[in-house]
């Protein structure tokens, strides 16, 4: 499902693979709860959360994993120790199994992102 043509996040979740839908729905709930003042949009075919028109967080159901995009380098640096053992690309965490999504870590990353504006990579 790499890039979706869904017009909104509800549509995105509806077309997600069933074995991932509950985790993606919980991830959306967490983003909406922690990112007060952010707008939920579809960007690049995935759900994204923007502040002042700039996406700072996004997530996606990729072919082989669920991606959580953390687009703020300052937040990544602040959590360097906790992210050290994670499967990470330049700006995303990859969870190869839905049951391994670390919602506690993601909640903390979302809270740090929401706490103050920062530079997006």
pLDDT value of residue 109: 98
pLDDT digits (tens, 9 = 90+) for 20-52: 999 999 999 999 999 999 999 999 999 999 999
pLDDT value of position 2: 59
Q: In 10 A of CB 105, how many CB atoms?
A: 15
Residue 99 has pLDDT above 90, yes or no: yes
Instruction: Identify the pLDDT of residue 3.
Output: 73
CATH numbers and ranges of domains, the chain: 9-115 (3.90.1150.200)
pLDDT value of residue 31: 98
Q: pLDDT (tens digit, 9 = 90+) per residue, 9-24? A: 999 999 999 999 999 9
CB-CB contact of 31 with 25 (8 Å): no
Alpha helices in the chain (DSSP H): 9-15, 18-34, 73-78, 80-83, 103-115
pLDDT at position 1 over 60: no
């Amino acid at each position: 499902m790499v890039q979706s043509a869904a017009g909104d996040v509800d549509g995105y979740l509806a077309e997600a693979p069933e074995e991932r839908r509950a985790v993606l729905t919980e991830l959306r709930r967490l983003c909406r709860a922690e990112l007060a003042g952010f707008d939920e949009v579809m960007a690049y075919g995935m759900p994204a959360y923007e502040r002042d028109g700039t996406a700072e967080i996004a997530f996606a159901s990729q072919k082989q994993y669920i991606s959580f995009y953390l687009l703020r380098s300052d937040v990544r640096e602040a959590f360097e120790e906790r992210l050290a053992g994670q499967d990470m690309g330049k700006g995303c965490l990859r969870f190869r199994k839905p049951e391994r999504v670390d919602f506690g870590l993601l909640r903390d990353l979302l809270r740090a992102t929401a706490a103050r504006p920062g530079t997006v990579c």
